[in-house]
Amino acid sequence: MWAIEAVSAQTWRADVEIPRSHWLCHPTPGRVPVTLLAEAFRQAGLAICVAGLGMGQSVHFIVSSMTVRVEPEPLRFPRFGALEGTLDVHFAGVQYRKGLPHVLEVDYALPGIASGRVSARVLVDSDYRAIRRNAARLDERVREFGGELIEPIDRVGELLTARLGIDESDPFFFDHPVDHLPGMLLLHSAAVVHEREHGAPPRFLSVSFPAFGELRSETIVAARVGAHGVDADFSQNGRTIATAVTDARSGEWPELAEPEIQEPGPTASKISIADGPGADPGRSDQHPVPGP
């Protein structure tokens, strides 16, 4: 992402760039992964909250849900260079607690390319540390994994059961210290299940996070495969940490219930304002503006 500009008190614009050199683009480098669109939305929201709204770099964004809708089929990179565009970011709803933003509903639109919504809570560092005080963090011992992200365990009719294969050396999903399973990894996993079952990336993807996913705990994926999409449940020790709905169609997406904000306690996978760029680690132009 490059620059941000205020249009009104609730609406901003952000110049974004998605590099075709990102490893998620392979083995089909001409096609834009839906995961990178979600990451562009995420980074734009972070940059606006810090540089535009002055929330500071010590707050944490707890994402309750994220939805992405893709317009073209298929969505491809230009013949040369990155996919570039101007993202419209609208703060559709802001709830305050003690005079500070606490719950955000943010709509995104990349005209002619994609749109989406993110629902999130904002926590100061002390509150976040309190709810995650017993969480295990990544240490210097990196657990690499040479298998597949989605390891099938069983298949009965339309119901697929799989194990999530996690590679902690991944430079995109684990580019900074975390104390939870990255929400973007779960979103990407849902997209992978859809593509394997339907032969192409989803044009609609919505993920909700009812609980934190813990590191180094076995994560089971139970996916019901339909004619146009997938309904997936991600669980650890019988506890749901994420649910996902995908669809291959354009303009016929399922109706989704508004996410339920539960207080107190975590409702999602944390995204910190200090997170890394989550794009091409070697490119300085992928860092939020201004960079952390």
CB 201 within 8 A of CB 193: no
Q: Which of 266, 236, 285 is nearest to 1 (CA)?
A: 285
Supply the pLDDT for residue 223.
98
Half-sphere exposure of 85 (CA within 13 A, CB side): 18
In a domain, 134, yes or no: no
Q: What is the CATH number of the domain that holds 170?
A: 3.10.129.10
pLDDT digits (tens, 9 = 90+) for 279-291: 222 222 222 222 2
The total number of structural domains in the chain stands at 1
- Whole-angstrom CA distances from 176 to 18, 71, 281 are 20, 32, 11
In a domain, 45, yes or no: yes
In a domain, 18, yes or no: yes
CB 123 within 8 A of CB 59: yes
- Whole-angstrom CA distances from 35 to 125, 278, 287 are 27, 11, 17
pLDDT digits (tens, 9 = 90+) for 212-267: 999 989 999 999 999 999 999 999 999 999 999 999 987 655 665 554 444 333 33
- Alpha carbons 26 and 30: distance in angstroms, whole number: 8
In a domain, 57, yes or no: yes
Domain that holds residue 37: 4-129+141-286
Supply the pLDDT for residue 10.
92
Average per-residue pLDDT in the chain? Answer: 84
Q: Around Cβ 221, how many Cβ atoms within 10 Å?
A: 26
Question: How would residue 77 be classed by pLDDT, with cut points 50, 70 and 90?
Answer: very high
